[in-house]
Amino acid sequence: MRALPLATLAWQFRECAGGPWRPARVPGCVHTDLLAAGAIPDPFWGTNEAGLQWIDERDWEYAADFEVGAELLGEEVVDLVADGLDTVATVRLNGRLVARTENMFIGHRWDVRRLLRPGKNTLAIRLDSATRYIRTHRTSHRPREINDPVGGCTAIRKEQCQFGWDWGPRFVTAGIWRDIRLEGWSGNRLAGVAVAQDHRRDGSVTLTISHELARPDPQSRVRWRIRVGARAVSLGDGPSIVIRDPLLWWPNGQGDQPLYDLEVDILDGSGKLIGTWARRIGLRTVSLQQRRDKWGKSFQFAVNGRAIFAKGANWIPAHSFVAGLDRGAYARDLGAAAAANMNMVRVWGGGIYESEDFYDLCDELGLLVWQDFMFACTLYPGDKAFVDSSRDEARFQVRRLRHRACLALWCGNNEVWSINAHELTDPKKKALRADYDRLFHAALPGVVEEFGGGTPYWPSSPWRGNEATDHAAGEARGDSHYWDVWHGRNPVKDYEKWSFRFASEFGMQSYNSPATQATFCPPEDANIFGASMENHQKNKGGNQVVLDYVTRRYRMPKDQDGLIYLSQLNQVYCVQTGIEHYRRNMPRCMGSLYWQLNDCWPVASWSSIEFTGRWRALHHAVRRLYAPALVSAHVPGDEIFGTSNCRSSTVRLVHLHTSYDGPAPGQGVLVWDLFHLDGTVLQGGRKKVELRPMQSVLQKTLDLAGPIAKHGRERIYLRIALDIAGRRASQETVFLTPPRFIDLPKARTKVSIRMKAPRYAVAGFTSPVFQHRFAFDFAGLSFAAGDNFFDLYPGEQKLVEVDFMARVTGSILRKSLTCRSLADTY
Ligand code: BMA
């Protein structure tokens, strides 16, 4: 095979209706090309989004010249290979039509040899307006919209959240969004390889290789080489490889992630090489176990036969302009996911099938991938062309990703069933139901069955194996999205009402840090309810919801920075209540994937990592909450506001639980101390505890009626902790009343900074009084801190390791340090 890369050519683009040719980037899109040309302002700044909606109403053309040599023309076939065109494309080579496309998620291969000529050739790709396509196609398909403010996005196979989402701007892109090249070949071409793994009882693994050729050839044979780490290469002939002492791949926290380099040569009958397939694979089994039990049916992932509690978050596209994102763009947030003790990410169905870099990183970091097909929320058409295209898309993506160690599940869609169930179960709307079933219960599972190599298929998220959409059904079977907190504005403690088998979405919004806010918000328009901030809040009424929850728990902040900080603390409180509850409910509950890990632009959102990469308070908290050993308090009851806002509380008992999902048993010491705000320890205790894998245990119940009566619930707080081998593995503060009723003392924090290397320091913080969610920052410096937004207890020093992106000195650090804790917000 002889390849000629085309992405690296000197591409140009212009508006079809006329306009200057300008330099373009491939892979890329028209928005980023216009930006690079200085033709549009920063789409993320202020309210600029609204002024850029003309872009997707126009048609665009991309073109490049290239030379073709005699060798390439000497091949029997020369394929034009386009891994992704966005979306309504007409491809012409030297003025002659090659193909038209209308599905962003399919890779294409067209034989263009007869259109090529020696010397100079011109490839031109016209990209018609996707919004016009929607207005003129499938016009009878006009379902109730959930996210797209203009409407119609489900009529086209294109990244759905580009049309606007409750965290995403509307930028409907066009472009050559993945690699493009010529591939010349003669005789035959290797079209695909599948590797099946058989994990035997004796511990060995047998790999069975099957291959597919462009021209089927029964004489063709297999030759392979395989290697892991420093072990010598083994090689052999034939479709089967026996590995007697395999190194197994495990999810993060359960073991290592050894990846085998596998190279497969396919030879023709005469021994001539047809093609080579080289990939990194992990040796593991993954299954979705659904076994009858006393609660209904389990919903749990098992890797190498070991049940795993899925700890993770939902992944959305890493950028509003996804074309051409590199490994670094993914490494930042996936690295942060692994650093926060996650073992799973859900690639949510309103985005894209991610790039190879994304799945490489998940393989390396031990992040299992719950992979949605790209359908979300709103009903999809069921015409033949649409279903055929969706099936082709599924075939392309399943075959592309099936060898991945990280791949745990194919899921039909996000919430299309749960949001539209009332219509889909309406006997008067049988055709709607038939359309739904054709796609999600026939076409997609058919492809996964045929090409997926055993990866399980799940029709929708959430789904309970039958038509049920109520919370009670989720307590018995399947996976659940829980939005009564946030969208339903229910009390935060309502998380604890439901014992879901698997929580695949739940979350709470917060605002961006002031540093991230400064990247999109004109300083003169920074009011939360002003035009710029409202444009960076995409959930209808979202700012009111944030304020509602913030003020249920905290006092009115004195300034906007205080509000931002409180919104992040509130986000921690809410997601923490969910995560702790789900972990305490193990093994009935076997997964906690909060909404959402990342952002695609800077926006008020549910993410734990801001678009700029800064960790919100939540991400620091999640690292603690997803640690293998967790101590948590279940505090039944709540503060009650009765007639005339008369306050009372039923909070009195504190149940201390340990939850543990490490691979090997261990022992720990549970420690609790009841503090008075004046710093004295009123009472305390400790208990030796056994930590068994996949067990959550109620270890101790404290009845605090006495101290509450004596001191007042506003003047005491409880510290709970779990020590393992003398190290504090988990620690948290329990309040017996919302913090707004606690008069937290203020005091100066003593700070020590020790430089250990030019980019590495250890900071020490000591406060004479209790400080809640103490947060520090080094203004203007990029750094990663081992912990932040933690509690300081009177007189106890907290040491934090800090890595800086550039060289720093102790004096620079001391000058740029800023600190705050809850008491500083009012
Ligand atoms: C879920 C998701 C998204 C949405 C999020 C927040 O239901 O599947 O569609 O962005 O909630 O509302």
The closest residue, in CA terms, to atom 3 on ligand 1 is 166
**Integer Cα distance of 811 and 826 in angstroms:** 30
Alpha carbon of 484 to ligand 1 centroid (Å): 12
Give how far the C-alpha of residue 723 lies from the chain's centroid of Cα atoms, to the nearest Å.
31
Q: How far is the CA of 420 from the centre of ligand 1 (A)?
A: 14
Distance 611 CA to ligand 1 centre (A): 18
Buried b (16+ CB within 10 A) or exposed e, 193-231: bbbebebeeeeebebebebebbeebeebbbbbbbebeee
Atom of ligand 1 nearest to the CA of 507: 6
Regarding beta strands 180-185 and 503-505, do their DSSP bridges make them parallel or antiparallel, or are they unpaired? unpaired
Write out the two tokens for 778: 């080094």
- Cβ-based neighbours of 644, under 8 Å, separated by 6 or more: none
Return the SS3 of 748.
coil
Which of ligand 1's atoms lies nearest the C-alpha of 348? 8
Taking the C-alpha atoms of residue 370 and residue 456, their distance in angstroms, rounded to an integer, is 10
Instruction: Give the list of residues 6+ apart from residue 439 with CB closer than 8 angstroms, or none.
Output: 375, 380, 382, 387, 390, 412
pLDDT confidence of residue 643: 87
Probe target for ligand 1 pocket from 147, 415, 605, with the most ligand atoms within 8 Å of CB? 415
pLDDT digits (tens, 9 = 90+) for 173-227: 999 999 999 999 999 999 999 999 999 999 999 999 999 999 999 999 999 999 9
**Non-local CB neighbours of 551 within 8 Å, separated by 6+ positions:** 740
Phi, psi of 132 (to 5 degrees): -70, -40
Query: CA-to-CA distance for 738 and 726, rounded, in angstroms?
Result: 32
Amino acid letter, 755: M
Say whether 415 is catalytic.
yes
From the CB of residue 255, how many other CB atoms can be counted at a distance below 10 Å?
A: 17
Pocket test for ligand 1, best of 596, 597, 601 (most atoms within 8 A of CB): 596
Q: How far is the CA of 417 from the centre of ligand 1 (A)?
A: 14
What's 709-720 look like in SS3? HHHCHHHEEEEE
Give the Å distance between the CA of 539 and the centre of ligand 1.
Answer: 10
**What was the pLDDT predicted at 231?**
87
Ligand 1 atom nearest residue 147's Cα:
9
Measured from the Cα of 165, ligand 1's closest atom is 10
Burial class (CB within 10 angstroms; exposed 0-12, middle 13-18, buried 19+) of 472: exposed
Of 166, 416, 420, 469, best ligand 1 pocket probe by most atoms within 8 Å of the beta carbon: 166
pLDDT lower than 50: segments of the chain: none
The per-residue pLDDT for 641 is 86
From 595, 597, 605, 607, give the residue whose CB has the most ligand 1 atoms within 8 Å, as the site to mutate: 595
Closest ligand 1 atom to Cα of 415? 8
Residues within 6 Å of ligand 1 by CB: 165-167, 350, 376-377, 414-415, 481, 505, 595
- For a mutational test of ligand 1's pocket, the pick from 505, 593, 606, i.e. the residue with the most ligand atoms closer than 8 A to its C-beta, is 505
| Whole-angstrom distance, CA of residue 305 vs CA of residue 289 | 10
Whole-number Å distance, alpha carbon 654 to ligand 1 midpoint, is: 33
User: Do the Cβ atoms of 608 and 655 come closer than 8 Å?
Assistant: no
Phi-psi group of 138: left, alpha or beta (phi > 0 → left; psi -120 to 50 → alpha; rest → beta): left
Q: How far is the CA of 104 from the centre of ligand 1 (A)?
A: 22
Structure tokens at 388: 């055929």
**Strand boundaries in 468-549, DSSP class E:** 480-481, 503-505
Ligand 1, residue 146: give the atom nearest the CA.
Answer: 9
Atom of ligand 1 nearest to the CA of 461: 8
CA distance 127 to 158: 13
Which run of H or E residues covers position 706? helix 705-711
* Smallest CA separation from ligand 1 atom 1, residue: 505
Quote the DSSP letter at residue 37.
T
Specify the 3-state DSSP secondary structure of 418. Answer: helix
CA of 175 to the centre of ligand 1 (A): 27
Q: Which amino acid is at 587?
A: P
CA distances in angstroms from 519 to 42, 533, 805, listed in the order given? 10, 12, 19
**Ligand 1 mean position to 467 CA, how many Å?**
20
- Mapping DSSP onto H, E and C, the string for 760-804 reads EEEEEEECCCCEEEEEEEECCCCEEECCCCEEECCCCCEEEEEEE
Q: Which two tokens stand for residue 653?
A: 């008992």
Residue nearest to atom 4 of ligand 1 (CA): 166
Question: Which is catalytic among the residues 61, 102, 415, 475?
Answer: 415
Of all protein residues, the one whose alpha carbon is nearest to atom 10 of ligand 1 is 166
Residue 77 Cα to ligand 1 middle (Å): 46
For atom 9 of ligand 1, the residue with the nearest CA is 377
Closest approach atom of ligand 1 to CA 166: 10
Closest residue by CA, ligand 1 atom 8: 414
Q: Note the pLDDT of residue 368.
A: 99
Please give the pLDDT value at position 587: 98
Give the pLDDT score at 640: 87
pTM of the model: 0.97
Token pair of 503 as six digits = 């929580």
